[in-house]
Amino acid sequence: MRSNRHPILDDTPINWRIFYKLWPYLTEFKVRVALALLCLIAAKTASIYLPFVLKHTVDTLNQDTNNTLLIVPFGLVAAYGLLRLANVLFGEIRDTLFGRVTERAMRRLGLQVFQHLHNLDLDFHLNRQTGGLSRDIERGTSGISFLMRFLVFNIGPTLFEITVVVGVLFYNYGVSFALIILVSVVTYVSFSVRATDWRTKYVREVNQADSSSSSRAIDSLLNYETVKYFNNESYEANRYDSDLASWESARRKNRLSLFALNGGQASIIAIAMTSMMALAAYNVAHGTMTIGDFVLINAFTMQIFMPLNFLGFVYREIRGSLANIENLFDLLDKRPSVPVDESAKDLIINQGKITFNQVQFGYRPDRTILHDVSFDILPGQKVAVVGESGSGKSTLVKLLFRFYDSTQGQIHIDGQDISQVNQHSLRKAIGIVPQDTVLFNDTILENIRYGRPDATDAEVQQAIDLAHLRTFISSLPKAEKTTVGERGLKLSGGEKQRVAIARTILKRPPILVFDEATSSLDSQSEQAILSALKEISQGHTSLVIAHRLSTIVDADKIVVMGNGRIVEQGSHKLLLDLNGAYKKLWDTQQNHQSQEVHNG
């Protein structure tokens, strides 16, 4: 399932309310925007005066004149050069001033999307595809830069310039020239809008194919070892090539539709310019216009259609940018199933008592995972939860961290309903050593420091010692400065788990959760880690999700789960005496260990 919804590939109009959403980013630098607009006006004024200077220059040169009057055309040429320079310089100053606005907008929106993604619930991230998501964000932020710059400094000014030129032509040369320009512009704009709307679906199709192929490549590379284990390089290459074939087909259709659009626009421009030049030539031939007027008409026509031709490109790109930005704002419109209430009170830990009170939960409405689960973890107690796979053990951890909200019942910490407290304060109070430890592509030192980013090097070193990582780290050429690779792939499962344990030790929260914390360790390392965990757990409330029952025999209470229900709870000795579900699990594991020893 894709994490980012692509717009339907049809001619549905783009949501123009996106402009309204972008407006606040424009107003952050009001002075810069105002100065940029002044530079824009100055540049356009210089641009409109250029054909008039050119006309007077040609007319002056075309007259019989003596040497004393040669200074006049040369002065006009100098004025033409200055106006051309002013047009370019004011344009550059405008772009420089407004560049800060667009860059800040990209930064603000990029940060907003990043923070929003971290606020979305676990279910969203379990279903997302990282490659497609990252491409959508990249295209969306780039589209915002294009949209803001060209909407403000191209479309509006170009339409303004067309209006002024039509008025000038009408005033100086009558209705014929003005009418040709006006009809041509209206025809050009109408054709461009309709044709661009028609081909927007091909732009979206290219984006979808691009995101799909990117997702496929990244997903395959992240699972490099699995691909190698099953000898599926050719299978992965064929699937990637299939996505690339879809991308190639989409690009071809996009290119052909672009050819149709450009061809139509070029035809309209050619007909308009030919008509203008023919009418001007006719008037010059009959003496109603001068050569300078002919040059002015030609200059104005080119001056109109050059930006108008660019306007067609800008409109196409704006449509493409809007299609890209849609996905970005779709992400921002997503709401987590577990709402974030910034006004909620912080969790206050006094003792660390945890209470599961008649908790019921299902990931889907038609399948309930937990049924009426109730048990207490008293302050400083170590409570273990055991049971067969799929019995709902790890789901309890997700509910405690409030990755999901229970459908019925409550979870309390020191009498405070966790659904009513600030999520940040809740998770700050809980440390976890997960079953599947994923590390950042950074050094061992920084991965451990992630447990508490403001920790000193001495505190990190102490956590390394408590997690029994010192011997392993000393054996590495760069010691704790060793980079662990993407997702920690350079370390073994046991080494990653010990880094995770050190990270949690460094955090030192009042509540500790161990989700199969020693599942990747050998027996000797397991005993050393268990000893360390027992040491750091003193005075802390601990919830242990365990598969190996031998690791939790010292627990104050053991909760046995089956099919999402609590079937037994009590101490290790009490549960053995009951001769029920726990005894059956214990006997099964003991027999399995005996067979391993015998076979060994």
pLDDT tens, residue by residue, 299-311: 878 777 777 766 6
Residue 100: per-residue pLDDT: 77
Domains of the chain, residue spans? 18-333
What is the pLDDT confidence band of residue 194, given thresholds at 50, 70 and 90? confident
**Which residue type occupies 28?**
E
What tens digit of pLDDT does each residue of 92-119 get? 887 787 777 777 877 887 788 887 777 7
Q: Angle, nearest 10°, between helix axes 71-119 and 30-62?
A: 150
Answer whether residue 600 shows pLDDT above 60. no
The token duo for 557 is 């209470």
Between 345 and 487, the more confident residue is 345
Residue 5: per-residue pLDDT: 39
What tens digit of pLDDT does each residue of 129-186 get? 665 677 677 777 777 777 777 766 667 677 777 788 888 888 888 888 888 888 888 8
Residue 505: per-residue pLDDT: 84
Query: Long-range contacts of range 414-419, CB-CB < 8 Å, 24 or more positions apart?
Result: 414/347, 414/348, 414/349, 414/350, 414/351, 414/352, 414/353, 415/353, 416/347, 416/348, 418/347
Question: Is 354 in contact with 543 (CB distance < 8 Å)?
Answer: yes
Q: What percent of the chain has pLDDT over 70?
A: 83
Separation between Cα atoms, residue 393 and residue 547, nearest integer Å? 10
Which string of DSSP letters, residue by residue, matches 326-384? HHHHHHHH---SS---TTSBPP--SS--EEEEEEEE-SBTTB--EEEEEEEE-TT-EEE
Separation between Cα atoms, residue 151 and residue 101, nearest integer Å? 13
Separation between Cα atoms, residue 379 and residue 514, nearest integer Å? 16
Residue 91: per-residue pLDDT: 78
Which string of DSSP letters, residue by residue, matches 43-96? HHHHHHHHHHHHHHHHHHHHS---GGGTHHHHHHHHHHHHHHHHHHHHHHHHHH
Residue 65: per-residue pLDDT: 53
Half-sphere exposure of 519 (CA within 13 A, CB side): 13
Residue 368: per-residue pLDDT: 86
The token duo for 151 is 């909407």
Answer whether residue 395 shows pLDDT above 80. yes
Please name the residues in contact with 357: beta carbons below 8 A apart, sequence gap of 6 or more.
374, 409, 410, 411, 412
Predicted TM-score (pTM) of the model is: 0.63
- CATH code assigned to 18-333: 1.20.1560.10
Between 111 and 517, the more confident residue is 111
Answer whether residue 599 shows pLDDT above 60. no
Residue 412: per-residue pLDDT: 92
What tens digit of pLDDT does each residue of 169-180 get? 888 888 888 888
Please name the residues in contact with 494: beta carbons below 8 A apart, sequence gap of 6 or more.
520, 521, 522, 525
349-365 average pLDDT score: 87
Between 341 and 464, the more confident residue is 464
Separation between Cα atoms, residue 273 and residue 230, nearest integer Å? 65
Answer whether residue 267 shows pLDDT above 60. yes
358-363 average pLDDT score: 88
Residue 557: per-residue pLDDT: 92
Indicate the Cα dihedral angle 264, 268, 271, 276, nearest 10°: -160
Residue written as token pair 């090539």: 241
Average pLDDT over the chain reads 79
Q: How many helices (H) and strands (E) does the chain have?
A: 19, 10
Tell me how many degrees the CA angle 290-293-294 measures, rounded to the nearest 5: 95
Separation between Cα atoms, residue 241 and residue 35, nearest integer Å? 50
Q: What percent of the chain has pLDDT over 90?
A: 3
Answer whether residue 572 shows pLDDT above 70. yes
Please report the sign of the dihedral spanned by the C-alpha atoms of residue 577, residue 582, residue 586, residue 587: positive
What is the pLDDT confidence band of residue 521, given thresholds at 50, 70 and 90? low
What is the pLDDT confidence band of residue 2, given thresholds at 50, 70 and 90? very low
What is the pLDDT confidence band of residue 204, given thresholds at 50, 70 and 90? confident
Q: 55-75 burial, b for 16+ CB within 10 Å, e for fewer? A: bbbbbbbeeeeeeeeeeebee
